[in-house]
Structure 1
Amino acid sequence: MKVAKFGGSSVANAEQIRKVEKIVGDDPDRKFIIVSAPGKRHKDDFKMTDMLIQMGTAYLNDEAYEHYYSTVLQRFKEIIDDLHLSPSLMHEIERSIKGILAQDVDKDIKMDQVKAIGENNNAKIISAYLSDIGLDATYLNPKDAGIIVSDEPGNAQILPESFSKIYALREKEGIFVIPGFFGYSEDGKLITFSRGGSDITGSIVAAGVDASLYENFTDVDSVYSVNPTIVENPREITVLTYKEMRELSYAGFSVFHDEALIPAIKAKIPVCIKNTNNPNAEGTLIVAERDVNAAHCVSGIASDTGFCSLYVSKYLMNREIGFGRKLLNILEDEGISFEHAPSGIDDISVIIRERNLTPEKEEIVIERISDELHPDTVSLQRGIAVIMVVGEGLVNTIGVAQKATTAFADANVNIDMINQGSSEVSMMFGIQARDINKAIRSLYKAFFE
């Protein structure tokens, strides 16, 4: 029994949905199909969810929303017409969207309902098409599937009791098409996961039904060892562990939402990333364990920008009991999460995503640190990029750090910070964002060429 999730590019139009039908029909084990909202049809196109967010925001602010509304309807109509489905389906979708906009609910709940329109109606369209061409397919609402989540609009978390409800789906016959991205709270409110949450739905369903495989269909043949927009024709990765994929996703690999694997990891469900446009390609298999070759211990190099470094220095900091706790408490009080915190005897650097530390919060945080911790120095540096060198064999392989630092030197890139040892499968390097491309190319050359 397999769970197959199809991303936005895989269900962007009728042509892509016909490919989905062929993939589902070719393997009777593909019983649970999770679908995203329509994605981009070409580079300059829009994603349905982006349009819905604009529509919802305009509606809630009493601004003109009709353009977004008509664009969304037209997109659905094109797909329905091109698939030669009944016009009554379009009427049903239009009625449901009007009903959502007219409903008297809190703004956060309304926004989640609007954001979920893309996935929910695309699932109805795809199930209707699969049924129309002769497959035993049924649309299944997440509430009926048993996807019960916390009441946190825009950031739903799956509740443990969901999995036993989802497991009961194993006994049902036929193919079920389930919209991704949202579930229902215990009191029946529609609540969305964080952005990209269709991956989360797929992983939850795979864990719940105890699938033999969770297939994640996207628009690439596999996961690459490095960003292909930086390095031309990089090496494909055929097998990764859960830990490796989690680290790579966190640091910029956009194939997988970085929360998505958690349910699959806990249930030890193998995951395979495959290409809707080339379904016979091997893809990348993600498993609990893999064989490690010391000569090729690095599986991938990931990178991401948009970080800043909060630097605090105080003589004999290491002897001051509670200093680190007090520093992190200040961040917690201001609602700021941190990513890394490499430290020395007199210094600590806290890596934070820039979007979490607005200029207003920066002023408050630095003032509080100065007043409450009395440091010798406190400063903030923006424009930091994080590079992760990832591989299961890192912890037991001699010379990896030396090879990496030599690659930075060869590229004439200064390393602002290193964090090694906190993870068994990765090394983190902080550099200036302007140097990221030449650093990545040099690292790729060192480890893969």
Structure 2
Amino acid sequence: MKVVKFGGSSVADAEQIKKVVNIIQQDEERKLIIVSAPGKSKLYDYKITDQLIKLFEASQESNTYDSYLDSILQRFSEIIHNLNINQAVLTSIEDSIYSVLESHLPPEAKLDEMKAIGEDSSAKIISAYLTECGMEATYLNPKEAGIIVSNEPGNAQVLDESYQQIYKLRKKKGIMVIPGFFGFSKSGELVTFSRGGSDITGSIIAAGVKADLYENFTDVDSVYTVNPNIVHNPKNIDVLTYKEMRELSYAGFSVFHDEALIPAFKANIPVAIKNTNNPQSEGTYIVAERKQHKQCVVGIASDAGFCSLYIHKYLMNREIGFGRKIFEILEEENISFEHAPSGIDDMSVIIHEGQLTPEKEEKIINKINHTLQPDTVQIEHGLGLIMIVGEGMLNTVGVTQKATTALKQADVNIRMINQGSSEVSMMFGVLEKDINKAIVSLYKVFFAE
């Protein structure tokens, strides 16, 4: 049995959905299909989920929302018409939208219900089209599928009891089409995963039914060694480990949600990244272990939008609880951190810029000054992170030297470096403006030479 997930670009319009159905027809083991909401297409430069969010926001602010509603219904109407399936599907989608708009749910719960309509509608359309093509297919709501999650709107976590329920799907006949991105709490509330969470749904279902393979179809032939928007025609990666993919996904590889591998990893289910527009391509396989090569580095990822909270205090290393107090202050302000490289008198905490407002920033600095009396405390904005990823990095001589040489050749100043805590990756902090030239230089050193 294979679990197959199709991303937003794969279900963006009727022509893409026809490709999806053809892929399903090519392999009778593809029994469980997970779908995203329609993404951008040749005719539509917007994602359905974005329109649904705008529709919700307009309705909450008592603004007219007809333009957003019309654009959503027009898009689905066009897909349904071009696939020649029953118009009752469009009526069902329209009813779902109005049901949410007219509900009296708290705003967070109402937003989750609205966001979920994109994936839910895709699943209804594709199951109807599979039936139209003569295949035995069923739309399966996540509640029926057994996806039980924590009641954390916009950030649901799957509960362990889900897997026993999901395993029962093995007994069902035909093809089951399940909307991605959301599940239901124990008390029956619809709750979404973080954005892009259809990958998470696919991984949960694959783990639950103990699938032989989880295929994730997107719009690229494989995972590449670097972002192809930065380096032209980079080398592809044939095989990655779960740990390597997790690091690459976290650090900007948008081909796969960075949380999605966890259920598959725990269940030891291989994952294949494939292209809906070129399904014959081998793609990239993600597995528990791979054969180690002399060139241990498999990929280089980067992401912008970070800042560094820097604290300096002479003899910091002798103050018991110094680090704990810093993280307590961040916790009080509901802020998570990414990395925390430190020295005997210095400590840096890397934070996503989006978590900070000017007010929070001032409050954090004041609290640190009051509680810890440091010599220096400041926040540096405009940082980017570069991750060099590969299993066995700690035991491979010369990786750091090659990386720092490449950055020097590109005239990129290293603001910070962090390796010791990971055997899979090495992190460099640089200014955002230097990311692209740093990536180009690193690619030349590790893959082109």
Q: Does residue 258 of structure 1 match 2:254?
A: no
Residue 380 of structure 1 aligns with an amino acid whose one-letter code is I
Q: CA RMSD in A?
A: 0.8
SS of residue in 1 equivalent to 2:307: strand
The answer to which of 124-133 and 93-102 deviates more is: 93-102
Report matched runs for 1:290-329 at 5 Å. Answer: 290-294=290-294, 296-329=295-328
Report matched runs for 1:370-385 at 5 Å. Answer: 370-385=369-384
Map of 1:445 onto structure 2? 444
Partners in 2 of 1:103 and 1:323 — Cα distance? 49
Report matched runs for 1:74-113 at 5 Å. Answer: 74-113=74-113
Partners in 2 of 1:85 and 1:22 — Cα distance? 16
Report matched runs for 1:274-289 at 5 Å. Answer: 274-289=274-289
Partners in 2 of 1:78 and 1:89 — Cα distance? 12
- Residue deviations 1:7-62 (CA, integer Å, cap 9, x gap): 00000000000000000000000000000000000396100000000001111221
Map of 2:51 onto structure 1? 51
Map of 2:4 onto structure 1? 4
* Structure 1 residue runs without a partner (length 5+): none
Report matched runs for 1:19-58 at 5 Å. Answer: 19-42=19-42, 45-58=45-58
The answer to which of 103-112 and 134-143 deviates more is: 103-112
Partners in 1 of 2:157 and 2:392 — Cα distance? 32
Partners in 1 of 2:121 and 2:443 — Cα distance? 42
Partners in 2 of 1:436 and 1:204 — Cα distance? 34
Quote how far apart the aligned CAs of 1:241 are: 0.2
Partners in 2 of 1:348 and 1:103 — Cα distance? 49
Residue 428 of structure 1 aligns with an amino acid whose one-letter code is M
Quote how far apart the aligned CAs of 1:333 are: 0.7
Quote how far apart the aligned CAs of 1:292 are: 1.0
Partners in 1 of 2:54 and 2:205 — Cα distance? 29
Q: Is the 8 A contact 1:298 1:390 kept in 2?
A: yes
Quote how far apart the aligned CAs of 1:121 are: 1.0
- Structure-1-length-normalised TM-score: 0.99
Map of 2:121 onto structure 1? 121
Report matched runs for 1:339-418 at 5 Å. Answer: 339-418=338-417
Partners in 1 of 2:335 and 2:430 — Cα distance? 22
Residue 97 of structure 2 aligns with an amino acid whose one-letter code is I
- Residue deviations 1:271-303 (CA, integer Å, cap 9, x gap): 000000000000000000001112x11000000
4+ aligned runs moved over 3 Å, structure 1: none
Partners in 1 of 2:357 and 2:100 — Cα distance? 33
Partners in 1 of 2:43 and 2:408 — Cα distance? 36
Aligned residues with identical type, % of pairs: 67
Residue 143 of structure 2 aligns with an amino acid whose one-letter code is K
Map of 2:424 onto structure 1? 425
Q: Does residue 154 of structure 1 match 2:137?
A: no
Quote how far apart the aligned CAs of 1:227 are: 0.5
- Structure-2-length-normalised TM-score: 0.99
Map of 2:271 onto structure 1? 271
Residue 82 of structure 2 aligns with an amino acid whose one-letter code is D
Partners in 2 of 1:107 and 1:438 — Cα distance? 43
Residue 220 of structure 1 aligns with an amino acid whose one-letter code is V
Partners in 2 of 1:362 and 1:373 — Cα distance? 16
Partners in 1 of 2:64 and 2:373 — Cα distance? 51
Residue 275 of structure 1 aligns with an amino acid whose one-letter code is N
Q: Is the 8 A contact 1:293 1:393 kept in 2?
A: no
SS of residue in 1 equivalent to 2:54: helix
SS of residue in 2 equivalent to 1:116: helix
Q: Does residue 131 of structure 1 match 2:136?
A: no
Q: Is the 8 A contact 1:217 1:275 kept in 2?
A: yes
Map of 2:336 onto structure 1? 337
Quote how far apart the aligned CAs of 1:173 are: 0.8
- Residue deviations 1:164-213 (CA, integer Å, cap 9, x gap): 00001001111000000000111111111110010110000000000000
Quote how far apart the aligned CAs of 1:97 are: 1.6
Partners in 2 of 1:412 and 1:434 — Cα distance? 12
Partners in 1 of 2:163 and 2:88 — Cα distance? 34
Q: How many residues align?
A: 448
Partners in 2 of 1:165 and 1:445 — Cα distance? 49
Q: Is the 8 A contact 1:317 1:323 kept in 2?
A: yes
Partners in 1 of 2:433 and 2:95 — Cα distance? 49
Quote how far apart the aligned CAs of 1:99 are: 1.6
Q: Is the 8 A contact 1:318 1:345 kept in 2?
A: yes
Map of 1:204 onto structure 2? 204
Partners in 2 of 1:161 and 1:133 — Cα distance? 35
Map of 2:166 onto structure 1? 166
